[in-house]
Amino acid sequence: MLAGLAIACQVWARLRLRAAVVTAVARAAVQLVLVALVVRAVFTVPVASAAMLAVMAAVAIHTAAGRLAGLPGARRAVALATLGGAGLTLGVLFALPALPREPRYLIALGGIVLGGSMTACTLAGRRLLDGLRRRLDEVEAALALGATPRRAVADIARTAASEALLPALDQTRTVGLVTLPGAFVGALLGGASPADAARFQLVVLVALLTAETYAAAILVWLLGAPRTLPYPEPDRER
């Protein structure tokens, strides 16, 4: 019913994503059923959690890198940024006594921070590419005056990373005031007390913010000294 309402709105507004809504909902349904079966098996074989996290990471990297095709070296940069941001965050979380060291927590938090790192890489990379195209003349002028590629692109890279973090910052600032996040609601429905649910949600939000910050910063550092500059338009001839 809700998917039908979304499609109806797209038809009314003459948007171009009607087919994407249908395929996205269908894929989500199939994928969640398969994931539920896999997670159930993983909980009975703890060592399998590493394999599941590896699959999650591979899909996250592939998805974000596919959005940044206009940036040379994007796939390698996305891989390092995603694994760096998520790996650091998960390492700290489970090194401290913040959460039980159990497969269910590793899978749950791993999926959340990998998803956040993926989103941060996508947003930072697209902002970086857009900034390079819009401010190409400015970058070329800086290079002509003797600036290194990294210095010429530094302001664009910082802006890209900062803007990529806005969704995570807004979510953290408005938690409980605008929405009740999924981790909080899920913990409540699972029988946790409101205090325990709030504690778990805070851990999730801080973990997301940390992972996304490192992912965005690593990505723009790796891509922030380009050897070649993108054209303002894909078909521009020089």
> Rounded distance, CA 205 to CA 177, Å?
14
Specify the 3-state DSSP secondary structure of 179.
strand
Evaluate whether 176 touches 185 at the Cβ level (below 8 Å). no
Query: In whole angstroms, how far apart are CA 83 and each of 100, 146, 177, 194?
Result: 22, 34, 32, 32
Q: What is the CA radius of gyration of the chain?
A: 20
Determine the residue type at 126: R
Question: Which strand (E) or helix (H) includes residue 133?
Answer: helix 103-134
pLDDT tens digits for range 45-103: 767 778 888 989 999 999 999 989 878 889 999 999 999 999 999 998 888 877 777 77
pLDDT level of residue 237 (50, 70, 90 thresholds): very low
pLDDT at 199 over 90: no
pLDDT recorded at residue 236: 46
pLDDT recorded at residue 123: 95
Using a pLDDT cut of 70, give the percent of the chain over it: 86
**Cβ contacts of residue 9 below 8 Å, gap of 6+?**
15
DSSP classification of residue 16: S
pTM given for the model: 0.78
> Rounded distance, CA 38 to CA 36, Å?
6
